[in-house]
Amino acid sequence: MNLTENINDIERPSTSTKNSDATTRKKQDTTNETVFSFKDMQLRITDKLQVQPTSLAKKSQSPTQVTYYTAKLIGYYLNLGLLISEPHAAKINEYPLLEGDELFVFYFNGQTLFKFTSYVEKIITLPFKYLHLTFPKHISGKQIRRSKRVNVNIEATVNSITSPVIITDISTSGAKIETNQELGGINTAIDIAFEINLHDLKTKLQLKGNVQSFNISHTNALNPLCYGIKFTSLQNDQNLLLHNLIYQNLMDEFA
């Protein structure tokens, strides 16, 4: 599978005009959940959607086991139905979609992560394969602030240190790491490498950063040294991978 194509399938931020007034139209329901209309999403043809069968969501024991399929919006009839392209994922053959399946559908427009439930009404195979979905009746969403941090547990290597290093939270601008060996003082330059799993594709990231903060944990005897790292000199592809790692974790939380 081409990595670049898969990255683009995960997220393609839209222009500012696409979500300029979405937040002004949102309202709160009785459960204090942010509710949106279909128009608020401002979906366009070929926009990427993340599709998750609810049966798999219920089976998953941890976020790392969650399976998402990537599809494109190819059309819709307001209040009647959606048309999406054939979903793609590494496990699509293992867990094929069937008519009648209930789906969680996610869409991120660059500011807001939307989620709604839909059902597979019909699977069309000719002249090409695509799916008819029921029209969403309830669309929820959450605003994603800039440099959103998410909790993770990722093994990493820093410089030539052989001691274990664990990334405990990460954003597109930096990370918190825990180790049992000193990395240096404030503004010390470091090289950090780690592997991420984006929808069954493992990719290794090698980033540069500076130490921004330091403290000692009195609850973590294994790795008591905690460092705040700011990423520097990020390349476009590295930034995109970090964005999609954050996006994937937010979907896992939202699910």
Helices in 19-73 by DSSP H: which ranges? 22-25, 38-41, 54-59
pLDDT at res. 126:
92
168: left (phi over 0), alpha (psi -120 to 50) or beta: alpha
More confident residue, 39 or 144: 39
More confident residue, 226 or 254: 226
| Lowest-pLDDT choice from 56-60, 67-71, 84-88, 100-104 | 56-60
- Report pTM: 0.67
More confident residue, 62 or 213: 213
20-32 confidence digits (pLDDT tens)? 444 444 455 434 4
pLDDT at res. 146:
66
Domains and CATH numbers, the chain: 31-143 (2.30.110.10), 149-253 (2.40.10.220)
How many whole angstroms separate alpha carbon 177 and alpha carbon 210?
12
Average predicted confidence (pLDDT) for the chain:
83
Residue 19 has pLDDT above 90, yes or no: no
How many whole angstroms separate alpha carbon 212 and alpha carbon 187?
6
| Lowest-pLDDT choice from 12-21, 45-54, 65-74, 245-254 | 12-21
pLDDT at res. 14:
42
81-130 confidence digits (pLDDT tens)? 999 999 887 566 667 889 999 999 999 887 888 999 999 999 999 999 99
